[in-house]
Amino acid sequence: MKVHHLNCGSLNTPTESMVCHVLLVETDNGLVLVDSGFGLQDVADPAGRLGFTRHLVKPVLDEAETAARQIEALGFARADVRHIVITHFDIDHIGGLADFPAAQVHVTAAEWLAATAPKALTEKLRYRQVQWAHRPNIVEHDPRGEPWRGFAAAKELVDIAPGIALVSLPGHTRGHACVAVDAGQRWILHCGDAFYHRSTLDGQSAAPRLWRASETLIAFNRKFGRIMPAWPSFTGAVNRT
């Protein structure tokens, strides 16, 4: 499958500039988005849609960066997006959902429950129900399935397309998951916010202290937040809240 790498939200955090990494996948069953970044409604109403968190991550909020506009620029229609697979429901991952109201939105059942019935303080602060006020067509998944390629559990989303799998990796949020995509010559693992800095993988440098602190502070489960197996190709080495 052909995979486009999109930046759907530049962030100017206190330590570094970051991007909201989104995958656009061309399948035989239409277009599939993996995460959605910030959307047109976020750009139009940052205070109402994003709340206080926008002051921490300082998104640029340029309409041209939204998935909607980038997909149109590639010559597709927004209606061509049939499915959106979401790693987790933080504000910089689901802002674009409202721009594709007909798409099915795939997420773990645990993450949907966390977003709609938050328990922990971090959950009550991080999720913004206004971002799914348009009532998207949610499809819940339980990825506690078969061991797969070194992961404890994964579920291939064959109803979308063969070669797209949801990999359970809770820690950053209650139902956080990674999304594996068969890109032909290699597999791509879109890991959401499973880690914040490339040093988590390569060990060649130290993550900025502020990043490590925020990674710990915002994690739903700090014990499991940083477990990553060996994998031939990672995406999302630049992460966000």
- Interface residues with Zn ion (CB under 5 A) are 90, 193, 241
- What sign does the CA torsion over 63, 128, 77, 44 have? negative
Structure tokens that stand for 87 in this block:
């790693």
Q: Are 54 and 39 in contact (CB under 8 A)?
A: no
Residue with tokens 């939204």: 66
**Cβ proximity to Zn ion, 1 vs 238, nearer residue:** 238
Cβ-based neighbours of 91, under 8 Å, separated by 6 or more: 38, 42, 49, 50, 51, 53, 54, 126, 127, 128, 131, 241
Q: If you count DSSP H runs as helices and E runs as strands, how many of each does the chain have, helices first?
A: 9, 12
Least CB distance to Zn ion at residue 125 (A): 12
Q: Which residue, 97 or 161, has its beta carbon nearer to Zn ion?
A: 97
Q: Which is nearer to Zn ion, 65 or 215 (CB)?
A: 215
> Strand pairing partners for 34?
23, 85
Tell me how far, at minimum, the Cβ of 212 lies from Zn ion, in Å. 15
Q: How far is the CB of 127 from Zn ion (least distance, A)?
A: 10
Q: In this structure, what DSSP letter does residue 208 have? A: P
Residue 123 one-letter amino acid? E
Of 90 and 99, CB closest to Zn ion: 90
Smallest separation (angstroms) from Zn ion to the CB of 88? 6
CB of 99 to Zn ion, least distance (A): 20
* 99 vs 193 by CB, closer to Zn ion: 193
CB nearer to Zn ion: pick between 31 and 91: 91
Q: How far is the CB of 168 from Zn ion (least distance, A)?
A: 16
Question: For residues 31 and 175, which CB has a smaller minimum distance to Zn ion in the complex?
Answer: 175
* Shortest spacing between CB 241 and Zn ion, in angstroms: 5
Exposure b/e, 10-21, CB count within 10 A at least 16 = b: bbebeeeebbbb
The SS3 call for residue 124 is helix
- The answer to whether the CB of 24 falls within 8 A of the CB of 3 is yes
